[in-house]
């Protein structure tokens, strides 16, 4: 086994298996999410934008672009389409009238909540074969992994 300073690292094969499983799981979640989204009038990028607004609140085009790893012009087009569909609206910042923020509207929030609820239902179905202890251990491990990766 390799060492880093005085701390031993995990075997390469185990890390490779974990990375592969996470990649496959991510792909399955993305595919299931797209199947759910096909029942709605929004695209996957619009869903991601709505999700950011739902979780982090109002933000500028630049802030949303950064979070989505998109060019500002692409995000502007995305927001234009969402605004036409009454999912979001542009609002002037209360502290600086030059700044325009994207605000999630009720319809956008409704869609996000419905889709997330359906995704959680699907995950709950998969986890039905797991014991309570296994689900608790998985939740704890994933939470720790997420925290370390931030």
pLDDT of residue 9: 85
Residue ranges and CATH numbers for the domains of the chain are 11-149 (1.10.10.10)
Which stretches of the chain drop beneath a pLDDT of 70?
1-8
In degrees to the nearest 10, what's the CA dihedral of 141, 129, 40, 92?
A: -20
**Between the CA of residue 73 and those of 83, 85, 104, what are the distances in Å?**
15, 19, 19
What's the CA gap between 118 and 134, in Å, rounded? Answer: 22
Say what the pTM is.
0.83
Closest CA to 67 of 81, 82, 83, 51: 51
């Amino acid at each position: 086994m390799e060492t880093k300073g005085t701390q031993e690292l995990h075997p390469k094969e185990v890390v490779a298996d974990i990375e592969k499983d996470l990649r496959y799981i991510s792909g399955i979640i993305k595919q299931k999410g797209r199947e759910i989204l096909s029942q709605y009038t929004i695209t996957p990028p619009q869903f991601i934008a709505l999700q950011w607004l739902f979780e982090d609140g109002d933000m500028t085009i630049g802030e949303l672009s950064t979070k989505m790893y998109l060019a500002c012009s692409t995000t502007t087009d995305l927001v234009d389409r969402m605004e036409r569909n009454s999912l979001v609206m542009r609002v002037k910042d209360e502290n600086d009238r030059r700044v325009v923020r994207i605000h999630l509207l009720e319809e956008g929030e409704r869609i996000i909540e419905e889709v997330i609820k359906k995704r959680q239902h699907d995950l709950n179905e998969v986890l039905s074969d797991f014991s309570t202890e296994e689900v608790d251990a998985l939740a704890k491990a994933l939470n720790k992994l997420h925290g370390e990766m931030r």
